[in-house]
Amino acid sequence: MKQQKGFSLVELVIVIIVVGLLAVAALPRFLDVTDEARRASIEGVAGGFATAVLSVRAQWEANARPVSAGQNTINYDGTDFWLTVEDNTNNIRPGYPVSVNPDQQTVIQNAAQCATLMEELLQNPPSVSSAVGSKYLVTADTLQNTCTYTQQENAGHFFEYDPETGRVTVTLN
């Protein structure tokens, strides 16, 4: 009589149970990968934005703080940026990008201005708009003089740009 080689039913059941336990243990970690990728994405974009803001300011400083018509301005990478003007009363630090439009020289006036800032500061910017459908939804707070860029895939993740101080703040929820 020939003896057949193979797995018994008990051995197969044990293997299936072990694989199932491994899957149950690993599944939550794989589910978190998507959220972690979104977090890393917004941190990367915000980091690039902050670097560009500081690069504009550094070029303005290197060019001996040029002024045009009473406004701080610099041509950075082929784009004319209007920059903040020092105001010690309101704690506004000079030299941070506010606009690329001479009519919007000193304050954030609307979401379109914020969208243009991102598009002009970053070399390969993600799509940004005040309408649903872009990668980042932009809003302007005209009272606080800030721009907020919210990640569309997860509305809890956003970063805020304050041109009065040059600060870029990331919020992850």
pLDDT of residue 1: 60
- Tens digit of each residue's pLDDT (9 = 90 or more) over 22-38: 888 888 777 778 788 88
Strand 128-129, strand 136-141: pairing: parallel
CA distance 96 to 118: 13
pLDDT of residue 35: 81
pLDDT of residue 34: 79
Give residues with Cβ within 8 angstroms of 30, minimum separation 6. none
Place of tokens 């701080």: 72
- pTM flag (> 0.85): no
- Tens digit of each residue's pLDDT (9 = 90 or more) over 49-100: 999 999 999 999 999 999 988 899 999 999 999 999 999 898 899 999 999 9
101's tokens: 């439009």
What 161-165 contacts at long range (C-beta under 8 Å, 24+ apart), as own/partner pairs, is 161/49, 161/53, 161/114, 161/117, 163/84, 163/96, 163/97, 163/98, 163/108, 164/84, 164/90, 164/91, 164/92, 164/93, 164/96, 165/91, 165/92, 165/93, 165/96
Strand, coil or helix: what is 59?
helix
Compute how many other C-beta atoms are within 10 angstroms of the C-beta atom of residue 96. Answer: 22
List alpha helices for 63-164, DSSP H.
111-121
CA angle 43, 168, 32 (to 5 degrees): 20
